Structure 1
Amino acid sequence: MPISELTLKSSDHEPARRFEVFTGSGRRREWLPEEKARIVAESYEAGATVSAVARRYALSPQQLFAWRRAARQPLAEAPALESLFVPAVIAAPRPEPAARRRRKQKAARDGVIELEIDGVAMRVGRGADTRTVAAVIRALKATT
């Protein structure tokens, strides 16, 4: 069939008509959740733009923005977790040999602070971060 037969013929007083040719399967692509997550993560990388990542995967930027928005949403159907209890076993400390006790006593004199709040003991050694120690003390006070 010659090309001349494929062209649209119109008269001079008729406006030109436009038609589109669709190639491909004509179906929507289905992306696996892992693929979506990988593409969304790639769009958050330093220096990456949503438009560039969308072009790379033949997506519209709007589609990628929708995936990013969905990824930020909390899971609506989080699996129900069954409450579990773990038994606490409290055992008496084993007696240490005398040589070890002497070393620990000497170390205790070398700048260790021991705190006890409602039966919970805490030892703070030299060089401990003050913010961490303060946070632990606040947590101990909050639990009592």
Structure 2
Amino acid sequence: MSISEHKHVSKGDGGPVRRFEVFTGAGRRRTWTAEEKAAIVAESYAGADTVCGVARRYGLTPQQLFTWRRTMRTGLLRDGEATTAPSFVPAMVEPVAEPASADPAPARRLQARRSASGAGTIEVEIDGVTVRVGRGADARTVTAVLRALKASP
């Protein structure tokens, strides 16, 4: 049996008492200045009342007040002044010139190994460790080995 199925009878006329809801709140979207927000946030930190109590006093939801508190902490709203929105700064990226190799021998060794190992073989060198992957290797196993090599110090 739900609450709505209960019938309450008043003593006066014997008719049933009907349940109704009262909506409280502004009912419209309000705008708060940065100074007002800062004052309300400061009051919520004062400790005289709970955040819910302060929010109720100003007709806010506690979630809204917690959001204002977070924006004050992160610096998006400071001392009653809204800071300017972040802007983009142009960045110039110049190509990095490859340093000239002092020892041309490693390049020759890599080419020699590649041709000697045969077609369909991949050779990867990470921090001095060489991994050769032949044709038909399981992709999951190769991925696990490479991740382990990258993760090791």
Q: Give the TM-score of the pair, scaled to structure 2.
A: 0.33
Judging by fraction of residues, say which structure has more strand: 2
| Structure with larger RCO (C-alpha < 8 A, sep 6+) | 2
